Structure 1
């Protein structure tokens, strides 16, 4: 899809403008350690992911426009098993991080960081960046003493050719920003070491500095979703607002995994810089084409027109690839290393661990994580009699259960050997462990955020109504193991799918009780074990951030999960106690959509009252459910 914004009429010689120059910006974002076209969770080829799948698009785009810059917008080093393998003992000492080596081979011109690039800690991040042959920029992160963590901006001097074949020297200013919420999400790694300022003021200061230093144009790599044009300074998603900063000529967005411009959309915000958001995991290549004109009198370059587009990855390898030899060699090495890492056996499961029905009822997959988290904090609780006297809840989530990830984004681990790739599939992030003290009121507010995963259902309405809101990210659907409660989907949700507060009145949580059946009073005090991201309010779970932090540890919850699996002398068979359910609505029919792989678990579907109704146009499997 192409979006065009014309800033002014193209100049003619009689207007005193002698040169027209085309500059192309190519961008990737949120690659999340997807390098090869392979799904290491399922151990199968997947041509829908991977930086390698963009290599031919990059080569073609460069061939069509020699004046080209290639940029990456962060969240590059973490997310797939390759990211874990790169910090394991399998990466030879002195070797470059596979993602960085691949970006070197493709000739990236600059990059910024995303919040997940910090997930392995500062030492691992700095080791990875040391081998980058391109500047990595970050304008709103400083060390505790005030020094920049990375260069805040850079001016690249490039000799570019105009439409008449004449060479010109351009000074191209680049900067990058990351959501300020990183300071909370990564508290266990960053506290006392890194401070993160709001993006909008930082981007404005960097832009002013670049212009004062003689930059002919300014490009901002904003690891941030689109947001609103009037987003507040400390917003998590603010790319549209950054595009309105005076002096900014182009913005690369990311973070929220969206695609802008998408199919069928053709607009730019009036008075704003060109903007592109290239999806995630290598799904799309972002492209901004700028037409620059040079004034003979002022000798200044200005943007006369801007065109944005996103091009989806081909999906299948071309007959003849344009991948550089250095990239092909790197792909081969990285692929072998990652498969070896992912195949390590850590234990066995006596039951399937799947998330197809995790938004219908508690499941074994999330129960296994809940059990591992409980085991991990037992030593902390045992050391303090005051803590030991409190009920312990375990909050976890089905990290892959459709939603924005689509019909293939589910975990499906068969009974049998459990491998490291299965643990990474069950728990895809490297969040640390956190123990909180919460009140009953905070628990209710916490669960209200999760309850926005569903559409509002009108009891008695004719025909089945859709239940699942696929705009909701499944990793925000927290299940509170240790409580009994209902979700009343006939009531209005307190927040929308993105977490914006819609109203402060009564929500959807009903009959909130302790496991023994006692009602949870607003003033009750309980312990909740969760991850550091959620404890900081990540996923717009504001209630979690208001709880008292008792203990946190930077080492990943996933490592605790692996240890829990390995410690079991017998195959695991998590016992799933009663938990949450839907408030009965008189048998109102709804459509529950999940991944087509759910067909492999027909007995569980039937036990949950689901009857198959075929696929949706979007590829989800549709089931009829009466609430």
Structure 2
């Protein structure tokens, strides 16, 4: 098996008594332990830490010296995480992800922002089972003590090409986006303070070198970010690589893959980001040069490096195997996995109610849909008594912000919800609302509403009405969970105009804007100085997704109940089968019949009624991204 960035034998020989070190990395596993989709109760061969086990074993076998790290967002995301919160960890068992990492021999890890989603007591209980160090440089308790150890030195004995042993000290530190202080304010306020990543990492790197670390590896739960310093960056992995004495960077958070092809370096420092959900194994190969005899404080140093990612699709085709047959190289974890797998399937199979109509998100970025309407109905029902109890709020217009959490984008062509009409179970509620966000209500101006919608409208590519050839409508780089529609308003989106932001929302452009005919549901035009309430989630209320308009609004109410729980209760308390009707909210501004290509999941072809209603027909051409289906329509 050929691994990315593998160091050639002759190169190691040229170093003489040098040492070759392989650094393996996972990130953003989001509780995907097995190649199994609990939302659909089907196997999902391209995901899961268990699938990576074969790659990890092979990578170790091909290297004399190997370390394995995880970069955070590990304990939240899939129903396995919800079952762990409800049944597994409270029962005193080790969190399944931590138990698997123990058995697979992880050397160290950091945590991501989503680790805080279930609160500090649960997080600390889950991490307590780890048999490897977990580091975090930029989080301190309110009394000034570190929430987790800010750094750690791994003392290892490594062998050179001749088999001679060499003691080497590897320093490790990590950091999380400081925005977690806002995103998880409910859980961390008055308990944890978060520092900007760069100064915190720099301080810990200096300390590691002072304490005798030969090399330093940074686990930055952060995307690449800009190449120039900005205030309070959420994504700063490229800038982390510029910190003196950093020898390798493992990035994450944005679910992207870096590099596309080795090598990938920033100022000579290798950097790797291995996708998400177990899609890739990151691999950095370092060539270490022995200390020079003339050095006053002899330390090993990096004299060569390569970085690459290894997709799980290149591993043996074991995606359909039962859980107890996975991880053949780690038999001690297989029985544990089988037990927790059964617990999770039973947990998410709990009945809630019935739906008279399908709930899918294949067309959610093209028109209002039933899936997001159901979420809106549930969160409005949960917020109504809270708003009615406050005389200062009860007379304001109430809007509801909802987005499709699974609608393609960077997560790929299988990232869609497709719930058939019939029985609704707990797994369906988790499929519709995959995050443990709580309810928030914002007071916002009319100008803020327009800015909010302009950010969401950046999902679309710019369409040139003068071009005869069909143009691609949706930008796959845009995360669909940021495509909010504001129910209670009506508006058109003019995609002939340039967007106000880039796909990530971290760059703002001076453009005329895309939102037209913005009105309240009663037909009254929205004025800049109008005031309204927006029912949304805690992540968005804190400006998550670079939604600056939400961050600048006033948070007037916050519930402690997760929206998913409100959704489940709404379904359970319905007097009969749900018959959800999407409320007319937005539409694409007509451009005189310009042909465009709408790409969505292949399962969309099963929904003939929706295809007909939206004027979609097969495009009979390959999609721009693997696995997507192409449909033609005219604007």
Q: Match of 1:117?
A: 115
Q: Report how far residue 427 of structure 1 moved.
A: 0.6
SS at match of 1:232: coil
CA deviation vs aligned residue, 1:377-433 (integer Å, no higher than 9, x gap): 112111112211001000010001111111111100111111111111101111111
Q: Match of 1:317?
A: 318
Q: Does 1:221 align with 2:219?
A: yes
Q: Report how far residue 18 of structure 1 moved.
A: 6.1
Equivalent residues, number: 619
Q: Does 1:290 align with 2:317?
A: no
Q: Report how far residue 144 of structure 1 moved.
A: 1.4
Query: TM-score, normalised on structure 1?
Result: 0.96
Q: 2:527 & 2:266 partners in 1: Cα distance?
A: 51
Q: Match of 1:368?
A: 374
Q: Does 1:526 align with 2:532?
A: yes
Q: 2:514 & 2:203 partners in 1: Cα distance?
A: 44
Q: 2:546 & 2:175 partners in 1: Cα distance?
A: 20
SS at match of 2:30: coil
SS at match of 1:386: coil
CA contact (8 A) 1:200 1:233 kept: no
Query: TM-score, normalised on structure 2?
Result: 0.95
CA deviation vs aligned residue, 1:246-292 (integer Å, no higher than 9, x gap): 00011111111111111xx3443452411111110000111111110
CA contact (8 A) 2:405 2:432 kept: yes
SS at match of 1:461: coil
Q: 2:477 & 2:514 partners in 1: Cα distance?
A: 18
Q: Does 1:616 align with 2:617?
A: no
Larger deviation, residues 119-128 vs 455-464: 455-464
Structure 2 unaligned runs (5+)?
none
Q: 2:143 & 2:88 partners in 1: Cα distance?
A: 35
Q: Does 1:329 align with 2:318?
A: no
- One of 130, 133, 138 as aligned partner of 1:132: 130
Q: Match of 2:159?
A: 161
- One of 403, 412, 415 as aligned partner of 2:409: 403
Q: Match of 1:456?
A: 462
Q: Match of 1:503?
A: 509
CA contact (8 A) 2:263 2:306 kept: no
Q: 1:527 & 1:393 partners in 2: Cα distance?
A: 6
Structure 1 unaligned runs (5+)?
none
1:166-565 equivalences in 2 (<5 Å): 166-232=164-230, 234-262=232-260, 265-269=261-265, 271-294=267-290, 295-298=292-295, 299-313=298-312, 314=315, 316-317=317-318, 322-565=328-571
Q: 2:483 & 2:330 partners in 1: Cα distance?
A: 42
Larger deviation, residues 323-332 vs 581-590: 323-332
SS at match of 2:55: helix
CA contact (8 A) 2:489 2:585 kept: yes
CA contact (8 A) 1:431 1:554 kept: no
CA contact (8 A) 2:12 2:20 kept: no
Q: Report how far residue 500 of structure 1 moved.
A: 2.9
Q: 2:500 & 2:487 partners in 1: Cα distance?
A: 22
Alpha-carbon RMSD across the aligned residues, in angstroms, is 1.9
Q: 1:440 & 1:44 partners in 2: Cα distance?
A: 45
Q: 2:316 & 2:180 partners in 1: Cα distance?
A: 33
The structure-2 alpha-carbon separation of the partners of 1:270 and 1:539, relative to structure 1 and needing over 3 Å to count, comes to closer
Q: Match of 1:152?
A: 150
CA contact (8 A) 2:490 2:517 kept: yes
Q: 2:65 & 2:466 partners in 1: Cα distance?
A: 61
Q: Report how far residue 323 of structure 1 moved.
A: 2.7
Q: Match of 2:608?
A: 602
